[in-house]
Structure 1
């Protein structure tokens, strides 16, 4: 029976007892000298990667990396032969062209090195306030704090510690009960703070390190000076508890109004994602310009934004239909919602409510689809930033807030 090594695949049992194909990413020995395997569940997000022991491994299903490469090579050879036959014209000349990489080799090498460095989660879970949360990804905390089962984080100042006792002592001395910066929004128990990365560098760096535990491709850790951070909190008698945040470049040549967004796992499925997105657009409205999130978006990000864009566009259409006025143009929609014109167009295309006719876009609103969509939103736990509770004003040109 083969003993798995790095790169090999086999079947393993998940926490619920179901069987899945896994690939070995790393090996280690436990305190008793038994081998543990850090595995990736093939076909699933990296956040599910974990350490498992031999009791969950089906060793009789091991497929070595060499066997898999040989099989994949044979498949590729077969595809290549088939493609050559299809790409040969009637005179026997090859009509296909090479497909050179669209990325610079140096960039590809850096991406490969980054992936290699971050492939194994270095912290198992965090304790933050009353919540114990399993982490999803690697985060570049200082070496002393890495390779631990649990990291303890002060939920107010975001200082991180290895021991519960250290956290207990810290809480006796820490006077923070809310994020630093300026409160710019207060509605019921929801409060938002704007923080200048250049003024509160340590807090913002700690926030980025914490966020990286739940974001796969985030690369901003230490250079926080060029960014504003908007931290969303829930308020109770003990203070303002961090729910999520978004960051934004102070000066974006591309007109991005959001660089990074996260709702922490313990607050997900509570409507905060759309609240944070809507907050970024309310700020863009105050700035008097349309904005768009930094691209490319993740698959989940695309779904979240498309849903929000559809909501604001359909809300505008619904109010226009009720007033009996003419449907707004794309530029008018963009001006009213702060959603960039290209995002307006892509949203209407996905809803099949726009046509291109004689060199112009023509909007074709389906009233039934609009009302059905909005009714579905009313039935959900919808959180949207309300402009009357936003006290934010744009910073003077050339100055921080």
Structure 2
């Protein structure tokens, strides 16, 4: 006997908001489906520039986005609840566009998204660059410093500009980062009647600020003496401004390997020093998040500078003493303790804050902290290792080994069945 057919899924709610991608070519470049959505709309929401691209035949009431935009999304949509609303977006609404905010506010089932080719698609078409091999970095509403993390010799980058002055700022950053020979092409008004391309290198960039609607194509080329910053943890120690409070390169690489960052995860870096662990956690993936707690305000400022120079300006630096400074922070996926281990209650606070599956890693070079880690290892298990590194140095006319201070490292993962505190 055949099984009874299952009930069909409940239909999604009828879309109430049309999200229409539009390019520099305006109304002329829209397909019939997008035009129909705009003609039928009773309310048209978008940037002033986008609304200006629509002909008078689009009779809906025009509402420009205020600044800042994000807090106004729910308010504007609620004010016209029940009306036929169309929201204009540049290119593809779901590619660094308003589509994300609308989805978060209304849910995908309440949207009808009608994408237009994105500026990145247009740029790759003009340049002959395979889209899948081209990395995109947006500087819209974000600091120029974040571009530094994407700079690797031979890579091709597309940079989404915040305004007409962004190319000048990008050229300056490339020069400061040792990538002055990189070729830059600024593609303006892509897909429109006024499309243009400015060409040059970062070293010789002399074009004044131009059209605010532009994308920057960068062929990354470094100078022969530029410091090589790889894509994996273990950057040269010289990449950091430091007063000596720095997890050294080989220990840092081993520590990040145990911390095992994954996209979207949050790290607590306790006792930041120079910020190297948090910086390299963030460099593993653009969606990784990190905060560092450092009691010394001078070192805290140094961490901020290191993060900006190495392309991860989103690192949150908290000046204060742990564990008190940890109160109210978002729950971490991993915790690294590089200093202050013997502070009363610190390890307890870190362990309690971790969710099941979270990782805790602690490094020390002192006997007192080593004894503490041995006790926690006895109680909770994990791995307790000693990391020793020696460097070859001149000894008279010969070469010998100079041993660095050994580092004791304890790492542990919080199992789903492990309660907070002791076993």
TM-score by length of structure 1 reads 0.27
Q: Which has the higher helix share?
A: 1
TM-score by length of structure 2 reads 0.26
